[in-house]
Chain A
Amino acid sequence: MSHDHDHDNELDPFAARVRALETILTEKGLIDPAAIDVIVDTYETKIGPRNGARVVAKAWADAGFAAWLKRDATAAIESLSYAGRQGEHMQAVFNSEETHNLVVCTLCSCYPWSVLGLPPVWYKAPPYRSRAVIDPRGVLEEFGLALPGTTKIRVWDSTAELRYLVVPMRPGGTEGWSEERLADLVSRDAMIGTALAREPA
């Protein structure tokens, strides 16, 4: 699992640095390399934005669940078994015709891992972190999203231990859809706020 990527090679000094650190800690009995394999497998194959998409789809399909999600997102999400690391204290923020929500962590890389998995590189990098709070419309345009000039934009800077999940608006033409089918319309970016839900094909 750990040596199957062709961008890596033994000559990369940072790869060597990480390998040395893992070796030292393993030799000292401080870490279990097999635990690393399980962690990587968890975040590469088990915990990802499909979790969040199911939360959003359920909120679209079930008004009672949506109300619970708005009131106590941690408990509502836990009821779907998506609790865990970096999802201990959740808040769901709902887009409306009036307001579009956008989530950022200007100070580091805080992100709701339990529902979205590991964050993309751009979310952790200076361009997004610096600009989301001062020029959100410019940021959204880089994602191909041009909002009406009258739409209010609310940026949530994740400066504490609350983790934010954006619930995009449900697209029209999806009446009666199953939650599984609805979840296919919900991208990772839609739950950060850099996209809308996909329109049905």
Chain B
Amino acid sequence: MNGPHDLGGQMGFGPIAPEKDEPYFHAAWERRALGVTLTAGAMGAWSLDESRHARESLHPADYYSSSYYQIWIKALETLLKRHGFVSDRDLAAGKAVDPAATPKRVLKAENVPAVLAKGGPCDRPVSTPARFSAGGRVRTKNFHPTGHTRLPRYARGKRGIVEAVRDGFVFPDSNAHGKGENPQWVYTVVFEGAEIWGEGADPTLTVSIDAWESYLEPA
């Protein structure tokens, strides 16, 4: 979707303002927000793709006025309601009122180190050979799906070179909507700055994205 999250090339957000010796957390609630998000995700009811889509589906005004942990929590409430774990009545009461769906698993403290060490690999076998090869010329599609996609707006309809053929990976555009992993080949595609930004582009700039095969056409 052409949501508020798709930020590449947008203007007007001001200076970056890196913070010297920045702490990992700026308030105690951010620690809990991280932990609640990860432990709730560990129930196994939704994918990382679905949670990304929940975040980018916030109203743009809400997205831009929220810190990242606030975005996480707002999206988490959506996911918990969607999957039957939390109700509006629970949230209004600030305590458990309604019964919850049964999770696939509950992450216990003693299992956290092993779960974090294992991570969640997203590479999958793909039964078809890779359509493109390193060095090949491609053009990204120009599309504007209303659902989740990982092809940024600034890189749509642009000509680039395949720099590397990666592995097969879960396709987020379908997986985010519970329509299956449908793995595809992923390629690192590099674009000249001028192809993307046109007049006035930095002549020393190249930008790459990692693109699923169905984002690409031969050029």
Do A160 and B15 touch across chains, with their CB atoms under 8 A apart? no
**Interface members, chain B 14-55 (any A CB < 8 Å):** 14-19, 22, 24-29, 31-36, 38-40, 42-43, 52, 55
Within 62-106 of B, Cβ neighbours of A (below 8 Å) are at: 64, 67-68, 70, 73, 76-77, 80, 85-86, 90-91, 94-96, 99-100, 103, 106
Encode B103-125 as 1/0 by CB contact (under 8 A) with A: 10011110111011111111100
How many residues on chain A are close to B (CB under 8 Å)? 88
Q: Which residues of A contact B165 (CB under 8 A)?
A: none
Instruction: Decide: B31 and A1 in contact? CB cutoff 8 A.
Output: yes
Smallest Cβ-Cβ distance to A194: which chain B residue: B18
**Of A57-65, A151-159, A174-182, the one with at least 4 CB within 8 A of chain B:** A151-159
Residue on A with the closest CB to B206?
A154
Contact B116 A19 (CB under 8 A): no
Query: Do B8 and A134 touch across chains, with their CB atoms under 8 A apart?
Result: yes
> With A84-B116, A106-B152 known to touch, is A154 a contact of B208 (CB < 8 Å)?
yes
B interface vs A, CB < 8 Å?
A: 5-11, 13-19, 22, 24-29, 31-36, 38-40, 42-43, 52, 55-56, 64, 67-68, 70, 73, 76-77, 80, 85-86, 90-91, 94-96, 99-100, 103, 106-109, 111-113, 115-123, 150-152, 154-155, 166-167, 169-170, 186, 188, 190, 196-197, 202, 204-212
Some 28 contacts from A to B, beta carbons below 8 A apart, are A1-B31, A7-B28, A22-B32, A23-B95, A25-B36, A28-B96, A30-B40, A31-B43, A37-B35, A40-B35, A85-B120, A88-B121, A106-B7, A107-B52, A108-B56, A109-B68, A114-B119, A125-B68, A126-B64, A127-B16, A130-B9, A132-B8, A149-B204, A153-B204, A155-B207, A155-B208, A159-B150, A194-B18
New contact pairs (14) apart from A121-B22, A157-B210, CB-CB < 8 Å = A14-B73, A18-B29, A21-B77, A30-B43, A31-B107, A32-B108, A35-B109, A106-B8, A107-B6, A130-B7, A130-B9, A142-B16, A152-B206, A162-B186
